[in-house]
Amino acid sequence: MVSSPLHPRKHVLKPLYQLLVNNFLAVVVVPVTVAGVLGKAAQLGPDELLTRLHGLRQVHIFLAVFLPLALVALSVMRRPRSVYLVDYACCRPNPNCRVSIASFTEHARHIPNLDGGGFRFLTRMLHHSGLGDQTYLHPSLHHIPPCCSLDESRDEAEQVIFAAIDDLLAKTGISPGAIDIIVTNCTAFNPTPSFTDMIINKYKLRSDIRDTHISGMGCSAGVISLEVARNLLQTVPRGGHALVVSTETTNLINYTGKNRAMLLPAVLFRMGAAAVLLSTSRSKARFRLTHVVRTLTAAQDRAYRCAYLEEDEEGQTGINLSKDLVAIAGDTLKANIVAIGSLVLPPSEKLLFALSFLARKVLSRKIKLYVPNFRTAFQHFCIHSGGRAVIDAVQTSLCLSDVDVEPSRMTLHRFGNTSSSSLWYELAYIEAKRRTRKGDRVWMVGFGSGFKCNSAVWECIIGSPGNTTTIGAPWADSIHRYPV
């Protein structure tokens, strides 16, 4: 949804309003203060000023200079270290994993447990899903019936995880021995040994590495992993490195029963993974992590059950997606943007929201709340590509343009819903289009079971890379065809 054009006068008045409010100190307070001081000095005269200055005691001068400097130094020392994104890589699975809509539909037609009604529902949802013909599924799901097992799930996880990490190490040139922390996340598949052990064994990482695996958190787990890694980086020596790996294994969440609400994940979820290298050193960094804001509504039964892993009447396991999912996602997003808006929005937008809120309380509840213009705070948006309906709901709620949500829609079309890694495919799309500039801010918004809405804000340190390397670049072979 593109916001309607403003009245011609508003094109002039709103920029003037934003300039005045956002620069209130520089435009109003400082000039008034300077004028007041100069006026007082003119009244006293130079002789009286010199007399008063000579009358000041040394202790007063010392306190006036030392105390503010000491407070500033103390606040800087107590501030947590900044965390930076060195680089990231997204897995582009092997071509033999590719599945077109036609082949997916023909495959579903021959699945024994899927009745005619379920097949028609699945086909209808697939054609309205926003997915294209280039998405990927593990070869085990190309069988009829699908071959879902522990070995196949482990093989899928190893394929995408190791491919993403290999590309990340090649892009950054970092030695595996320089990694101090490793954080992984995957909701459905939790093998023993864990994902972190799998990676430590493969790359022979140090024995004193700090590792954490996050499970059951849904598609928003990627942002949670960022927060965990950020907190752990505060405990290691300055310049430490954290490896964050986000993925979802589609083999174990594949469902071929008759419950239509449990067929939706099979339509949307696809194969993918992302590997991210964080550090407290700004050297060679590309982005700075400025904020992480998490919102959880699991205390509400309706939200808690909206994405639920369970067995159907015939004992088949799958994720049951409630019909209230989009509405719950919208409510959770509203709570999240209230929290993040106070951190990132300029004063002009906060003031307009506050005034509309007071007017709604005092005058009439029919008055609509002002929706802040988040494009004044962010230049780029990475909204979890959980499905076309979710993207539509977020676009409407935030009054974003089609260009703002283009990375999300194109990621859904090219790669499907890759769960927690989808935000990195979207950032890769923005960079493949060379849209990021120094100083730009990127807002990542992820949704997950529970129900959760988690946000991460990045500040761009350097613009989009000018090289044409295909290492860890998922759009290298297709960016010229997008947007579609």
- Determine how β-strand 452-460 pairs with β-strand 210-214: unpaired
How many angstroms separate the CA atoms of 234 and 219, rounded?
Answer: 26
Q: What is the pLDDT of residue 189?
A: 92
Counting the structural domains of the chain, the total is 2
The sign of the CA dihedral 457, 435, 248, 211 is negative
Do 178 and 139 have their domain in common?
yes
How many angstroms separate the CA atoms of 167 and 165, rounded?
Answer: 5
Q: What is the pLDDT of residue 315?
A: 87
With respect to residue 395, please indicate whether it lies within any of the assigned structural domains. yes
Q: If 0-12 CB within 10 Å is exposed, 13-18 middle and 19+ buried, where does residue 158 land?
A: middle
- Determine how β-strand 273-279 pairs with β-strand 380-383: unpaired
The sign of the CA dihedral 251, 253, 258, 263 is negative
The residue range of the domain holding 153 is: 83-481
How many angstroms separate the CA atoms of 301 and 286, rounded?
Answer: 41
With respect to residue 402, please indicate whether it lies within any of the assigned structural domains. yes
Do 316 and 332 have their domain in common?
yes
How many angstroms separate the CA atoms of 93 and 36, rounded?
Answer: 67
pTM over 0.85: yes
Other beta carbons within 10 Å of 109 = 13
Single out the residue in 79, 107, 136 at which a domain terminates.
79
pLDDT averaged per 10 residues, the chain (length 484): 46 66 63 73 71 66 72 72 96 94 88 82 90 94 86 95 97 96 95 96 96 94 97 95 96 83 89 97 95 95 92 88 90 91 89 82 74 91 93 92 97 96 97 94 95 96 75 92 94
Do 194 and 180 have their domain in common?
yes
What is the CATH number for 325?
3.40.47.10
How many angstroms separate the CA atoms of 401 and 391, rounded?
Answer: 12
Do 169 and 45 have their domain in common?
no
Asked if residues 126 and 267 have their Cβ atoms less than 8 Å apart, the reply is yes
Other beta carbons within 10 Å of 441 = 18
With respect to residue 12, please indicate whether it lies within any of the assigned structural domains. no
Single out the residue in 48, 79, 110 at which a domain terminates.
79
Q: What is the pLDDT of residue 385?
A: 94
Angle between helices 347-362 and 8-22 (to 10 degrees): 110
Q: What is the pLDDT of residue 4?
A: 41
Asked if residues 133 and 101 have their Cβ atoms less than 8 Å apart, the reply is yes
